[in-house]
Amino acid sequence: MTQGLLNGIFIGLTFAIYITIAIRSRAGSTKEYYTAGGGVSPIANGMATAADWMSAATFISMAGTVAISGYDASRFLMGWTGGFVLLTVLMVPYLRKFNKATVPDFVGDRYYSRVARGVAVICAIFICMTYIMGQMRGVGVVFSQLFGIGVPAGVLTGAAIVFFYAGLGGMKGITYTQVAQYCVMAFAYTIPAIFIAMAMTGNVIPQLGLIGNYTVGGESVPFLQKLNNINTELGFQEYTSGKMSTINMFCITAALMCGTAGLPHVIVRFFTVKNVKSVRKSACWTLGFIAVIYLTAPTIGAFSRVNLIEKLHNTSYAEAPDWFKAFENTGQMAWVDKNGDGAIQYFGAGKSDMGTNSVFQGKGPTYPAYDAPENQRIGSQGQRLLANKADDSNPNELYFGNDIMVMANPYMAGLPMWVIALLMAGCIAAALSTAAGLLLVLSTSISHDLMKKIVNPKLTDKEEVKYARMASFAALVVAAYFGINPPSAFIAKTVAFAFGLAASSFFPTLLMGIFSKRVNREGGIAGMFCGIAFTSGYIVYFQFLGGTTDQLLFGITPEGIGFVGMLINFAVAFSVSAFTSPPPKHVQEMVENIHIPTGAGEAETHDFEI
């Protein structure tokens, strides 16, 4: 049986499961469409939220990011899990009590203003769009891997499937499908890690292997020490120490944490459980399920880094493993024989005077056209040649994308074929579950908050659904475009921007809305506007308008600027509120009321006007 056939069987099987679930639990009413009817059990919602939350970016490229940057990648590990603490203790129990279908609903009512609702809708769309671009890229990587096609074709295939899939279920369908998807993801992620941990450290539990000894070939040295030695030998930063400045590291972590707590597609997930008590319980389950994967990611990162270097560094191309050639074909790995010795060398920035280790000029690899003469496409060793000029300022010859670590991992470790097939199914589950959740929020933001609540309150159910579908289609087209031409080199980076925007808009606005009776309409709108304008301006300037690193504010990179945007939002909102009149009495009563934990269930029946 070939690998391709086995992949097909695994993916076909999981698809059959998802579609069966989606059809059996498809939404019967608009209430079920938006919040699954509010009766999902805490543990099921926990799994679904975990699946929704862990995107293709997390699944595919986080371990790779850890592998490349070692300690510095802790910002993602801590940021994306720590945010759930904020989300649980500050946000969701209160928002669940408030009991509306969407997040802009809360903003609109709390700040008693259509403008506030409008700004919130725009923020939600902006955040989901940024986020979904990363997803599309992830889907593309998986499909290109799966069918041996280029990433652009993979992105388009993925977009088509996601559109078909998200149209089916509504929140109810998505929820129960995500439960199944979480199970697939968890197995797909941990099983290869267990195999590799056993092979490299003799320990069944990867987390113990990471802090244990490296035992390959009769050696027995502390694993992390081995990794540090390899890294420094090749001119990389020591694995366990970082090179990022403390302030930048803190800002990025904080932006990711606050952003997590302000992500609309995560918040609405908690609207599906029965009451406030279940929200708290569900949050525990959610983070527990997420921790399973997040505690494994750093182990995969560390193991695969050692594996990659041992397998490829100083290996002649003729003897390079088959998987290397397969990844060359999809453009995810490349080799430029700078010194002409026919062997692959992998070096870090420490080996060059320029402080870089770029293999070629330009951001990503480009290739000669298919009809170009053969000597321009295929090198003397049979390697795939690049159209890029080689960067001769450093000796590094090996290029690979961050997203390759998880995908190549089982091949590198020589794992059985079914593990690889399972991994493929897991990647697709990760991409589908997040994309479906995001599309739901995107389309409801447009159909419910924009069309129904702002533009035309007389909209019928049927028209609302029609707008929702149109919105998801348009969103996917844009997302696919940016998935093919990512504004930033790595998936994790693209996604990090969504968090910056969420941190600077929703998090402070919701927090003040819940805990302050004094912050009013004017303050809320001004704060939100300044926060998001500052953050997106900063990001656009440094991503698209060619801002240079010495222009950075306090050395904070665009990924971390959401934290500063958040502080601006708070400051502006409080000062503007102080000079304008306090919110009307019914809004103050509403704030009092959301702090009383009971009664979330009853309110629902008459508050659902959709």
Partner 1 sequence: MKLDHPRAHRSACLKITLILLLVWFVVSCCGGIFFRDWLDANMPSIGSAPFGFWIAQQGSIISFVLILIVYAVLMNRLDNKHGYTEEN
| Residues within the interface to partner 1 (CB under 8 A) | 66, 71, 74, 77-78, 81-82, 84-86, 88-90, 93, 207-208, 210-213, 222-225, 240-241, 246, 249-250, 253-254, 257, 274-278, 280-281, 283-284, 287-288, 291, 294-295, 298, 592, 595-598, 601
Q: Whole-angstrom Cα distance, residue 496 to residue 130?
A: 9
Minimum distance of partner 1 from residue 296's CB (angstroms): 10
Q: In whole angstroms, how close is the CB of 313 to partner 1 at the nearest point?
A: 23
Closer by beta carbon to partner 1, 213 or else 543: 213
Nearest to partner 1 of 282, 383 (CB atom): 282
Pick the closer one to partner 1 by CB: 213 or 393.
Answer: 213
Compare residues 86 and 610 and give the one whose CB is closer to partner 1: 86
According to DSSP, the residues that pair with 40 across neighbouring strands are 273
Nearer to partner 1 by Cβ, of 575 and 598: the residue is 598
CB of 369 to partner 1, least distance (A): 44
Decide whether 419 or 514 has the Cβ nearer to partner 1.
514
As measured in angstroms, the least distance from the Cβ of 138 to partner 1 is: 22
DSSP codes, 513-573: HHH-SS--HHHHHHHHHHHHHHHHHHHHHHHHS---GGGSGGG--GGGHHHHHHHHHHHHH
How far apart, in Å, are the Cα atoms of 358 and each of 37, 301, 392, 397?
52, 21, 9, 8
Closer residue to partner 1, CB minimum distance, 196 or 385 = 196
DSSP string covering 22-57: HHHT--SSHHHHHHGGG-B-HHHHHHHHHHHHS-HI
Q: Decide: 406 and 343 in contact? Cβ < 8 Å.
A: no
Q: How far apart are CA 392 and CA 6, in angstroms?
A: 42
Query: Residue 507 corresponds to which amino acid?
Result: F
Helices (H) and strands (E) in the chain, counts: 26, 6
CB of 550 to partner 1, least distance (A): 24
Closer by beta carbon to partner 1, 166 or else 244: 244
Is there a contact between 312 and 398 (Cβ–Cβ < 8 Å)? yes
Rounded CA-CA distance 214/469 in Å is 53
CB of 47 to partner 1, least distance (A): 15
Angle at 199 between CA 195 and CA 205, to 5 degrees: 55
CA angle 373, 374, 376 (to 5 degrees): 75
Supply the minimum distance, in Å, between the C-beta of residue 586 and partner 1.
Answer: 17
**211's tokens:** 């802090």
Backbone angles phi, psi at 108, to 5 degrees: -60, -45
317 close to 342: Cβ distance less than 8 angstroms: yes
Q: State how beta strands 213-214 and 221-222 pair.
A: antiparallel
* CA atoms of 328 and 309, how far apart (whole Å): 17
Judged by beta carbon, residue 230 or residue 459, the one nearer partner 1 is: 230
- Give me the count of residues in the chain: 610
Place of tokens 């904020």: 86
Comparing CB distances to partner 1, the nearer of 22 and 87 is 87
| Separation CA 601–CA 567 (nearest Å) | 34
The least CB distance from residue 363 to partner 1, in Å, is 29
Q: What is the DSSP string of 97-158?
A: HH--SSHHHHHHHHTT-HHHHHHHHHHHHHHHHHHHHHHHHHHHHHHHHHHT--HHHHHHHH
CB of 268 to partner 1, least distance (A): 19
> Is 245 or 361 the residue whose CB approaches partner 1 more closely?
245
Taking the complex as a whole, how short is the minimal distance between the CB of residue 301 and partner 1, in angstroms? Answer: 9
Q: Residue 216 burial by CB count (10 A; 0-12/13-18/19+): exposed, middle or buried?
A: middle
Question: 559 with 252: CB under 8 angstroms?
Answer: yes
Q: CB 219 → partner 1: shortest distance, Å?
A: 13
* Owner of token pair 């009776």: 517
- Nearest-approach distance from CB 229 to partner 1, in angstroms: 12
- Closest CB 197 distance from partner 1, rounded Å: 13
Minimum Å gap between C-beta 406 and partner 1 is 17
Contact present, 496 and 537 (Cβ < 8 Å): no
Of the pair 110, 521, the CB lying nearest partner 1 is at 110
Q: Considering beta carbons, is residue 166 or 257 the nearer one to partner 1?
A: 257
**Which residues are CB-neighbours of 100 under 8 A, at least 6 positions away?**
106, 109, 271, 607
211 vs 478, beta carbon nearer partner 1: 211
